[in-house]
Structure 1
Amino acid sequence: MAPRTPNTRVVVWTAPRCVSTAFERCVMEIPNGQIFHEPYTSAYYFGPERTSRRYSSEDVDEHQSYSAVTARLTGQFYDKDYVFVKDMAYCVKGRYHMFVQEEGLASFKHTFLIRNPAKAILSLYKASVNSQLTGWDYFDEAEAGFTDMYDFYSTLTGAGREVVVVDCDDLLCDPEGMMKLYCDATGLAYRPDLRLRRTICFKPAQGLIPLLAPSFQG
């Protein structure tokens, strides 16, 4: 029996208000993938090691520990052609080393989706204080995420890892061209019919899953 070809594994790290959910939904259109939507965000807000007070009134979910999330992401998924993860860099702050050192996580191709911070943080601030829109009533600077993306990027490149960076403005100006470049750089199977669709989602992880396609896991 011929050895099984390993599936392609890609993670995009980002910050809020960088069009990342629309980007994720575009990748979802590539057939036969296992998609994980913000799994470490679940650990950050809802797991037993959570550090944010954003959802402190909600019960802790013991199944959302960082180790449990990692175990899910590093599963075999033999029947899938690719595994794709979208998550927030600030949700793994202080844990960047594990993506270099741990064997299963080291197999992922790391990419970053960035945006002009002046645009993204202003948008996040407006959303954070609009309780009718988000249910939130305060802005938490820890959720801005740009310093965390840079620190994570520096950790990866310092360890000799190749990293792909996509600018949100470039993606919006030329979605077809940028998606082709992204797929070529990561090993994902590009399709000319991939479409970038705007979407508005605010509550991390658990609250978002019902709004998205059934293939979302994590």
Structure 2
Amino acid sequence: MDFKQKKVILWSPPRCLSNVFCRSIETLKKTKCIRNLFSGPYYFGPNHPCHIYAPLLDSQLDLEGLSVKDLTYEQMKALVTADYPDVDLVFIKDHPHCLPESLYQDLISGAFASFIHTFLIRDPERALYSNYKASLSQQLIGSNLDPPSGGFNEMYKFYNFIKEKQGTTPVIVDAADLQTHPDETMRSFCKAVGICFDSNMMSWEPAPFHGHYNVWKADWHQQVSQSTGFIKTKPGEQKPVPLYEMPSDVVKCIEDSRVYYTEMRKDCIKPLF
């Protein structure tokens, strides 16, 4: 393995534009992108703690020849830290709500010691509204959101763990900046983690979004598969989120999540003009 190889993990709650972020990173040469490995043990593994999905069939799994019984946290750690030769950047994205707290220490020590942990946040109104609509289309069992907490509190807990244990403030990107100033925000992110920015990161060809769990492709990944770049918006031009369309428990989750979002927003990197 090249000793100069970068290893970066992007953590975010669902529906925070993390997949389109990955699409941008994938345009870089000699890059290996790994998505949602830790989601496997959480939703589908032999001891999965979350039961909102029907059992996964081996035919619905596209993961290095493994079967559903192999979806354990130990196996996922091995895949993330495996040797990927001839690659300059290993880029992982996943959701902190899928991590048991017992795994936190493992993710900053041993084979993970060289990994750079980063975070992507989004206004909870927009993230959880999108989450709510997608969860409805999936007809998830017993929940209006996936996860029911929205994922912001788990992210904040893991963020504070990283911040305390490593003694530095992790890189945080706000999805709002990606939408209003995508070029400048990706430049800032690349500089912060030591990646060479390439202007080609701003556009790409539509292509099927490769995910390890095919059960999510139709509803969760359709839009990013059809994308050709970041959808740029002007500050303040997005339509208000129709909170009246959502159940009271989802609105309450948005209110609770805003506390965590607001705290992390204070430490966000700024677009690089």
| TM-score using structure 2 length | 0.67
Match of 2:144 in 1: 139
Does 2:181 match 1:183? no
CA distance in 2, matches of 1:4, 1:194: 23
CA distance in 2, matches of 1:127, 1:177: 29
- Gapped regions of structure 2 (runs ≥ 5): 58-66, 226-273
1:161 Cα deviation from its structure 2 partner: 4.3
CA distance in 2, matches of 1:110, 1:177: 21
Match of 1:98 in 2: 106
Structure with max Cα Rg? 2
1:110 Cα deviation from its structure 2 partner: 0.6
Distance 1:143 1:71, change over 3 A: farther
CA distance in 1, matches of 2:113, 2:201: 28
Matches within 5 A, 1:21-60: 21-59=19-57
Deviations 1:175-201 (A, max 9, x none): 10011111111122210121267x9x9
1:14 Cα deviation from its structure 2 partner: 0.4
1:6 Cα deviation from its structure 2 partner: 3.3
**Which amino acid in structure 2 is aligned with residue 136 of structure 1?**
L
Alignment match of 2:128 (pick from 121, 132, 141): 121
Distance 1:8 1:28, change over 3 A: same
Match of 2:160 in 1: 154
CA distance in 2, matches of 1:183, 1:170: 14
Deviations 1:90-139 (A, max 9, x none): 01141222212x31112110100000112211221122123xxx353642
Match of 2:235 in 1: none
CA distance in 2, matches of 1:161, 1:106: 14
| TM-score using structure 1 length | 0.83
CA distance in 1, matches of 2:72, 2:80: 13
Instruction: Compare 140-149 and 4-13 and name the one that shifted more.
Output: 140-149
**Which amino acid in structure 1 is aligned with residue 104 of structure 2?**
Y
CA-based RMSD = 2.7
CA distance in 1, matches of 2:96, 2:16: 12
Distance 1:45 1:148, change over 3 A: same
CA distance in 2, matches of 1:114, 1:127: 18
CA distance in 1, matches of 2:4, 2:47: 32
Does 2:67 match 1:67? no
User: Relative contact order (alpha carbons < 8 A, sep ≥ 6): 1 or 2 greater?
Assistant: 1
1:205 Cα deviation from its structure 2 partner: 4.3
Does 2:18 match 1:12? no
Match of 1:216 in 2: none
- SS state at 2:42 partner: helix
- SS state at 2:131 partner: helix
**Which amino acid in structure 2 is aligned with residue 9 of structure 1?**
K
- SS state at 2:144 partner: coil
Q: Are the counterparts in 1 of residues 6 and 88 from structure 2 also a CA contact under 8 Å?
A: yes
Aligned pair count reads: 204
- SS state at 1:39 partner: coil
- Give the structure with the larger strand fraction: 1
1:142 Cα deviation from its structure 2 partner: 3.5
Distance 1:163 1:196, change over 3 A: farther
